[in-house]
Chains A and B, each alone.
Chain A
Amino acid sequence: MATPTHTLRPLTCWKSILRHTRHQKVVTRSLTTYHQNVPYSKFQLPPPALKKIKVYPAPPFPAANTKEPLKALCADQIALLDPTGVRTSLFSKTNPEAAKVGDILLVRLKGGDPFAGVCINIRRRGVDTGILLRNQLTRVGVEMWYKIYSPNVEGIEVVQRSAKRARRARLTYMRKPKHDVGSVQNLVLAYQRSRSGLRGSAQKEEGLKGGKKKSVRGKKH
């Protein structure tokens, strides 16, 4: 049986020869008593060449300095958008001269007609503070929200203060026909006239331009 196999595959003979050797090796290895474990800590390796890595100290953690980061951010933004603090004081709760709900306000816009109306809501939310103005244009009630710190808002002026302090925070009842003050264009026109009279001729031209437009509107009511 072995002969034909050997003729076909001549290297197979090595397997049968080496099988014995292999077996012998296993037997001798199991009999040995020389082997003992060397702990890794005792195991000596040549010391590796240490590369010096530069370690930088951690930057200071910002939360340690800032107790309320959102409040700080809001204050930063207000300082950026309203450097003089005029708007802040105009709508601050502590200022007795501040604009209140019920007052007639005029919002001058950059690149656009000014909008005037009764302030029926002041939404105080830091830098997002907005005011809701209501007016009637061509006998249609119009309400506009403006952000007081918006870069588009050039200025906010108090045209007329309300005679009595409003006993509500939001005068949404003014939307009802019974309480609606109607158009405030006449008051705004008078205010602009008086202001342009007080100021110099440089401002007069602007006031008259606005006034002429307003008078056209005023005739309709």
Chain B
Amino acid sequence: MDLQNQQRVKDAAEKYGAENVVVVLGSSDPEGAEIYAETVTNGDPTFAGPLAGVSLGLAVYHVFEEEIKGEADPSVWEEQVGMMEMVLDTEALAAAVKKIREQYSKYSL
């Protein structure tokens, strides 16, 4: 996760309280999704950004997880995400983020 985005996440957690922030990932690659999820829960694993050594424990989900998909208007979902649902390995993406969430998240939906 680039340094600007880490800072934005950190700022949001400070401003609204970590319990009130949910991070929704749209990453197309399970390995990348895992790193993003880890960054906003356990801290930046590359120790390069503002979240290095900062364990925010935020609630983190992939957009393809049922908790998030269920919140979306089906017609908007169809228009915005339907195509990518056919392209990407949604199960692997959801599993990757869930694994990290169960390990490091202090909050959930």
Q: Are A and B associated in one complex?
A: no
